Chain A
Amino acid sequence: MDALTLLPRIFDGVTGLALLLLAFWALASPRLFTGIVMFVAFGLMMSIAWVRLDAPDIALAEVAIGAGLTGALLLAALARLSAAQPAQESTSQSVKRKQTLRLFRWVPALLLAMVAAGLAYAVQSLPPDSPGLSADVAANIARSGVSNPVTAVLLNFRGYDTLLEILVLLLALISVWTLGGLSSRRTVSAGPVLDVLTRVLTPVLLLLSAYLLWAGARSPGGAFQAAAVLAAAGVLLLLAGWRPHPRLTGLPLRLVLVAGPVLFLAFSLTTIATGRNLMEYPPPQAGVLIFFLEAAATLSIGVTLVALFLAERPPDKEGQ
């Protein structure tokens, strides 16, 4: 085997090993902060693995959401946590108990080794070649209205996945608000670097989000990636101390939050009422319909993610 065919294998091997090591350190490091930083690095390494697996759409989503937004959420939660309980627990009694517990850790380790062996055997015994549904997708892509197969699956062939997903996002936000949300954070001065960076980056991120939405029809990108970039801009603004005007957090915020779900539901009901299947697009208008649904979904998902990051329940009515 010459060096040129060996090189990708070495690269894959290093990527896989780095993934396992980073995941191990994210879960085993003594300090939580180190663990979270390792988890963000793990997310970035995952996106390299996605590129190696010919999945640039997932790589984009992973970088923006898996590594970026989840990391921001975890760090924000850690900051609130250390504000709530400054001293880390570890009394002598609990240390003693930990030592006795550690003795028994080989029991789950042994069981999980068996699970791992079974799963590895199952994966290994799968046939090496299996086209799956790619032939069906390729046969129908011309009628879907878009030419990026992943967008075609997400918005057209399995559009109900996306419909249910935006509903799940909305449900998560409603659950957070139902719990009463979190108390508002002290706004500390962000410092000149973050201030300037936010001013420069926010317009760029908005533009990038619009581009990803537009490009998603033909090349990697789409509603989720665009929404994640939109959410990143919102999170940056929040970190720099910006808060939406109280007049906007009442009805206008809720209208934006439900715009995507309502449009999706209305469309799917229309398709059923006109005698088609659920979310079955009429082929000539499919491209336009998908674009408008995606635009509404991007806005709603982006704002929902920002609201999940803030996690503060807005007042029920203006002026209350």
Chain B
Amino acid sequence: MSAAHFFALVGVGLFCLGLYALIVRAHLLRKILAVNVMGSGVFLVLAALAKRTGNAAPDPVPQAMVITGIVVAVAATAFALVLMLRLVAETGRAKLPDERIE
């Protein structure tokens, strides 16, 4: 297996790990971490697949998209954190309301 495919598989693993934590962890800060891990997994798949050029220089287009993605991810994270802190200020809890039907 080439390094490109190996890192792409690691990226798939990270995505699924993050998705699982996003579903089962209740704390919103943990959910924000989980989304960031998912994003890193996607970036890893993108950049790893750009490396499928043998010994030549990798494809720069996915690399540029990953850099754009990293900056957008940090902006989204900052906004999500402020949303979470506002929710805590309003409700006193860092979790989404539980809508279980009794």
Contact = CB atoms under 8 A, between A and B. Distances in A.
A143 to B, nearest CB: 15
Interface in A44-101: 46, 49-50, 52-55, 57-58, 61-62, 65-66, 69-70, 73-74, 77-78, 80-81, 84-85, 89
B88 A131 contact: no
B29 A32 contact: yes
Nearest to B31: A27
6 contacts: A16-B9, A57-B64, A128-B4, A130-B53, A132-B62, A182-B82
A13 B21 CA distance: 24
Interface residues of B, number: 76
Contacts of B3: 8-9, 12, 52-53
Given A28-B21, A149-B57, A85 B94 contact: yes
Nearest to A127: B52
B74 interface: yes
Contact of A175 (B32, B49, B79): B79
Contacts of A194: none
B67 to A, nearest CB: 5
Contacts of A258: none
Interface of B: 2-10, 12-21, 23-25, 27, 29-30, 32-34, 36-37, 40, 43-45, 47-54, 56-68, 70-79, 81-86, 88-89, 92-94
Contacts of B66: 55, 58
A273 B45 CA distance: 39
Nearest to B27: A32
A112 B34 CA distance: 14
A304 B78 CA distance: 11
A119 B82 contact: no
Nearest 10 CB-CB pairs, A to B? A132-B59, A149-B60, A27-B21, A172-B75, A153-B64, A308-B78, A16-B10, A77-B81, A116-B16, A134-B59
B74 A123 contact: no
Contacts of A134: 53, 56-61
A176 interface: yes
Contacts of A28: 21
Nearest to A153: B64
A126 interface: yes
Contacts of B83: 179
A161 B79 contact: no
A144 to B, nearest CB: 11
B52 A16 contact: no
A20 B17 CA distance: 8
A157 to B, nearest CB: 8
B23 A108 contact: yes
